[in-house]
Each structure stands twice: as C-alpha cells, then as structure tokens.
A and B are shown apart, each in its own frame.
Chain A
C-alpha cells in the first residue's frame, strides 16, 4: 500500500527564516508533486518532480526529489507572509493497471510578520 507522510503537519515561523517540509513515501515512484492550498480555496500546482535528483525552484520555494530515499523536500528561503498556506505533496503510481495518486495530509504553514 502506498503511503505518503508529510512532516511537520503544522509549522509556525517568523518572516525571514528558512525551513524545510519533508515528504516521505512508501513505494517506488518517479513522480512527485507539490501543491499549495490557501484557506477555503482550490489547489495550485507548484512543482512536478519527475526523476531522481530533480530540483526545481520558484521564488522562495525549492523542491527536490531523492527517489532512492523516497524523500522529497520543500525548502522555504527567507519566508514571507504571502507563503502562508497548506502545502501538499502527492505521489503517483500504477497498481494492477489502476492509477493511484496518493496525497500527504498537508503541512499548514503560518508565517508571522
């Protein structure tokens, strides 16, 4: 069974600080996704990581993927209030010809001025 675990589930931090969100998954997969969700809103794609060693950056966010360790990280540099949101990682795979996209529980990030 494919499981995706994120930690921490809740993070409160000060503006200007750096922090990392971790996403562990339990089975082999070469595709990992990061999404952002603002309260009461829909989900917005941040990154798609397609291979081992993949690193993508957008503004103050950087995501990486280590398929051997089954670990992805989302690093926040010099956080600003606008980055407050819930961040989800998701991993997909095929099981018996059925597509599965399994999501982590999400990390609620609050950035205080």
Chain B
C-alpha cells in the first residue's frame, strides 16, 4: 500500500494564480483532511470530508475549496493564490468508527510558495 500520497511535492505560484493539490489514499478510509503547517505553529485544519461527495469547513477555510468526487481522492484548490497561503500543506485520512475518532495517516506534504 502506498498509504497517503500528495501531488505535487513543491510548487511556486505568483499571486493571483490558481492551482489544485491532489491527495490520494489507498486504505479505503472514509475521512480525509487538508491541513496547513506554518513555522512555529501547529497544524490548522482547512477542510475535511466525512465521505465521498461531502465536504466541510475546518478552522481556516477561507481562500480554499475542496472536492471529494471519489472516496480515495481529496482535492484542495486555491482559486487566487495569495502570499499568506505560502505554507506546507498536509493531507491526512482516517477510518472512523461511530464510537471514536481514530488516528490520522498523513501524506508527505506539499510545499507551496506564493510570490
């Protein structure tokens, strides 16, 4: 199993450009998440999905959109990139039960630089 993979690994954008980050998991997990990690800070949840076709906002959703058309894929879109979106983006997935939230498995991260 590849686990959680992310594409691309690194990207440089100019302000105002758009891009899509792709996350894929092969563990048949229901839940998927997008985080950003900034220096000196913990991770912040951007959006998450509890299943195919459903998405929800996390802690810092502004400026991002997501889609979960297939269970194994979770896309994060930036419509008009801003320098404040320079960060490392992590995707994660988990298989939850109704009783508890299980551990999340993380992808390798995408480093995004917005000039």
Contact = CB atoms under 8 A, between A and B. Distances in A.
Interface residues of A, number: 22
A111 to B, nearest CB: 21
A107 to B, nearest CB: 10
B102 interface: yes
A50 B101 CA distance: 9
Nearest to A47: B103
B100 A100 contact: no
> By DSSP majority rule, is chain A's interface helix, strand, loop, or mixed?
strand
Contacts of B43: 43, 88, 90, 103
A104 B90 CA distance: 16
Chain A to chain B: the 3 pairs with minimum beta-carbon distance, closest first: A103-B42, A45-B103, A43-B106
Interface of A: 4, 31, 33, 41-45, 48, 50, 88, 90, 92, 98-106
Interface of B: 33, 40-45, 48, 50, 56-59, 90, 92, 100-109
